[in-house]
Amino acid sequence: MDRQTRKEYVDHPALTMGLSVQPAVLDGMAKIKGAKGRGLLGRFLYSLPESLLGRRKTLPEPVLEAVAEVYGRNVVALTLALADWTDPAVIQLTPEADAALQRFQERMEPKLDARGASMGHISDWASKLPGAAARIAGLLHLAEHLDRGHARPVTADTMRAALTLADYFAGHALAVFDRMGANDTAERARAVLDVLKANQWSEISKRDVFAKVSRSEFPTVAELDSALNLLEDRGYIRALPVLRTGTRGRPPSPRYLIHPDVSTPGA
């Protein structure tokens, strides 16, 4: 930073941000010029909890003094333990922890496909999730080993705890980006889901769905694919095996089983 009133230089800046905002701030956030293209939206871990309005405790219990004391003491101890470091402290993974992280990466990769995969529309964010999970594991590891944590490898149990958090953030990221209007596929999936709810089917073919949806949203049957794939990934429907009755002619339209809860009000 170089200003008229002062000059400050930070050779190796590191910034951690924690923001608590009203849900309305998310509306249209993806439309900020350059926010997505420059990777800004992909660098945050999101949490969009359910509103407790109408069910809140008017006089919540304070944090226990013992808990606050231990927390404060541990934060100070960890800060002092790392204060004199000049070179980066390298935290290693056990082979089991490394294997768990690798399995998570293999599970995530197919979801990044832009052609209808569940996280294809937020691949900029989702592609960074394995790295974020590794950093979360490092933080959990240091919180558990306040003294010379860098001298011990991260265990598989700690990595699994971090991956549980990563799955949590993945689910909330989908909700947040959908709210920000970053996903045309999600909007189409909602339109198809509304049709399924209105007709209360237990089983349906793709051709029958196409007959019920709006032509402005779905000009061709092929336009349904990404929406149906997303609904299947979320558990609303399940594709049935396509059975041909002969060797000639076009194959029958794909059929789907519909989850019984889809017909339940509020599902």
The confidence score (pLDDT) of residue 127 equals 94
Quick check: 230 and 189 in contact, CB under 8 A? Answer: yes
C-alpha 231/C-alpha 116 separation (Å) is: 10
| Tokens 């923001």 sit on residue | 19
C-alpha 226/C-alpha 120 separation (Å) is: 10
Instruction: Say what the alpha-carbon torsion angle 207, 211, 212, 214 is, to the nearest 10 degrees.
Output: 110
**pLDDT > 70? residue 34:** no
* Cα radius of gyration (the chain): 24
**pLDDT > 70? residue 30:** no
The confidence score (pLDDT) of residue 191 equals 87
Burial of 167 (0-12, 13-18, 19+ CB in 10 A): middle
C-alpha 267/C-alpha 262 separation (Å) is: 6
Quick check: 85 and 150 in contact, CB under 8 A? Answer: no
The confidence score (pLDDT) of residue 22 equals 85
Look up residue 243 and give its DSSP letter.
-
The confidence score (pLDDT) of residue 69 equals 97
Identify the helix (H) or strand (E) that includes residue 170.
Answer: helix 156-179
Structure token digits, residue 22: 């009203």
The confidence score (pLDDT) of residue 230 equals 81
Q: What are phi and psi of 163, to 5 degrees?
A: -70, -30
Q: Which residue has the higher pLDDT, 114 or 89?
A: 89
Least confident of 6-10, 157-161, 173-177: 6-10
| Positive or negative: CA dihedral 36, 40, 41, 43 | positive
Q: Which domains does the chain have, with CATH numbers?
A: 23-48+64-179 (no CATH), 184-241+251-263 (1.10.10.570)
pTM: predicted TM-score of the whole model, two decimal places? 0.67
Look up residue 56 and give its DSSP letter.
-
**pLDDT > 90? residue 189:** no
Q: Mean per-residue pLDDT for 249-262?
A: 83
| Tokens 């032509």 sit on residue | 215
